[in-house]
Amino acid sequence: MKSSFKAFALAAALAAGMSVTASATECLAPANPGGGWDFTCRQVGQILQEIGVVPNPVLVTNMAGAGGGVAYSHVVSERASDADLIIAASSATTTRLAQNAFSGLTADQVRWLGTIGGDPGVIVVAKDSPYKTLPELVEAVKANPAKVAFAGGSAVGGFDHLKVLMLMSRTGFKDARAIKYIGVDGGADAITQTVGGFTAAMTGDISEISGFIRSGDVRALAVLADSRVPAFPDIPTAKEQGIDMVAVNWRGFYVPKDISDADYARWVDGLTKVAQSEQWQKVMAANGLAPYTLIGEEFETWIDANIAEIQSISREIGIIK
């Protein structure tokens, strides 16, 4: 007999003495406690109750495995009509879907709810680098891609690598395989590659390398966000420098595919209220996140375009066929 994962969560909550109803809201974090998806569930779940969107505490269930694939499969196969379930997601979710890392599961098997914050990408060079602006670096790559390598904290085909490929693609450079990228284990190691002169530049999320920027070990050429990050007001965006490029490791949610339009609209309204709340502004400020709000239909349209772009670039570099 199949057991509902939600039933286990409710039983645990009742055993702990929590007051819940049969329609208690659950947030599924597709990883172990302590990671980004867990953070998103717990912070947003708390705010949902604080501002009155839901009447009771939000149950957070951790379901790790396959980089989010276990949770995704669970929702698609067993929870497709659960209107009281939201699932934490990020750029990693859509990247893996685009690259077919979830064993044939596709992005249209859920409904994409929204993103309300993110960790902007950044392009940095060593403090003594000859490149002073992002266009100067881009032109150097175009002139001789074999001599201008990038480092990043993700493997080949991961989000840091894709940032570089998308950046160059937006400037008209189409030979993705010619771009040199060295994937290492995390932002700190990638910074070492650049500071040591092994690579010309490094790409990562601004929160993971903010200390290196503040210390002066590296210079940030651009933040890949819609607007400048308040904590680093001197770093220009790529857009300011004539390159229409935004790459944010967004924090958001999807919901089951078969919920009603009315329930989807209810979640759109609820997440909009969270995004506008004073509580969420404080969470972002305390954790180095930047505003990045796309909710409802606007987010669904963005997801489709994002996945299509990742698939195109991933085919060029041989990650998928």
In sequence order, what DSSP letters do the residues of 215-239 get, joined into one string? HTSEEEEEEESSS--TT-TTSPBTG
Residue 275 falls in which region: left (phi positive, over 0), alpha (psi -120 to 50) or beta:
alpha
Closest CA to 60 of 80, 35, 78, 77: 35
Element (H, E) at 75: helix 69-78
Alpha carbons within 13 A on the beta-carbon side of 265: 3
End-to-end CA distance of the chain: 39
pLDDT digits 0-9 by tens, 142-173: 999 999 999 998 888 989 999 999 999 999 99
- For the chain (length 321 residues), average pLDDT per consecutive 10? 43 40 82 90 98 97 95 98 97 94 96 96 96 98 96 89 94 94 85 94 89 93 92 94 94 98 98 98 86 96 96 92 88
Closest CA to 92 of 162, 169, 189, 165: 162
pLDDT the model gives residue 207: 81
C-alpha span between 54 and 45 (Å, rounded): 9
pLDDT the model gives residue 23: 65
C-alpha span between 91 and 227 (Å, rounded): 19
C-alpha span between 173 and 116 (Å, rounded): 31
